[in-house]
Amino acid sequence: MLTFEQKLKIVESFPELTRHNVSMNRVNFHYEESADDKKNVVYHLHPNGNGFVYAEYLNDYDTDHKGMINIRDFSETELRTVIQKSIESLALTAVAEAPIEEYWINSEKHSLLLVNEGDLWNVFAGRNLDGTFRSYNEARAFLEEEGFTRT
């Protein structure tokens, strides 16, 4: 496991990130040029080695409900890669300009449509709105908890 100092040195090697000291000796790093409302790339990097990277738009990582992944046990290469991918994802113009749609189905063959509309993710049952979520991960978690899988 990398030490706090090693992680800090790696993160600080990205000139596009701005350091922000927060409580309990933790450090955040923002990408101020983000095309998204989100600016945190590295969140709560702590002297104990714990910390998070924003990866909501990255398909290669399982994120928590805030779109973050824990980097506690990341190697230098893994950390550099995920930070670079996070920055690139935030640099893109708002994920995609056209709505993103996914169909989900359950064991009883009921289907729902997940649609990205601006900053929200809406779930439709036919023409009826079934739920609205602030992130893809929140919508995905809801659908999975309800027994749906992506088709």
Are residues 87 and 53 part of one domain? yes
Are residues 52 and 20 part of one domain? yes
CB atoms within 10 A of CB 52: 22
Q: Which of 42, 72, 91 is the last residue of a domain?
A: 91
**Cβ distance 78 to 93 under 8 Å?**
no
Taking only the tens place, the pLDDT of each residue in 108-151 is: 999 999 998 877 899 999 999 999 998 887 888 899 999 999 88
Q: Is the pLDDT of residue 22 over 80?
A: yes
CA 55 centroid distance within chain: 3
**102 - beta bridge partners?**
114
Supply the pLDDT for residue 38. 83
Average pLDDT of the residues in 6-20? 96
Are residues 139 and 118 part of one domain? yes
Residue 19 CA to residue 64 CA, distance in Å, equals 23
Q: Is the pLDDT of residue 58 over 70?
A: yes
CB atoms within 10 A of CB 54: 27
CB atoms within 10 A of CB 53: 27
Q: Which of 91, 112, 129 is the last residue of a domain?
A: 91
Are residues 45 and 12 part of one domain? yes
Question: pTM for the complete prediction?
Answer: 0.62
In a domain, 144, yes or no: yes
In a domain, 96, yes or no: no
Instruction: Give the position of tokens 């800090």.
Output: 8
Determine which helix (DSSP H) or strand (DSSP E) holds 83, and give its type and residue range. helix 76-91
Residue 62 CA to residue 75 CA, distance in Å, equals 17
Which range marks the domain in which residue 42 is found? 4-91
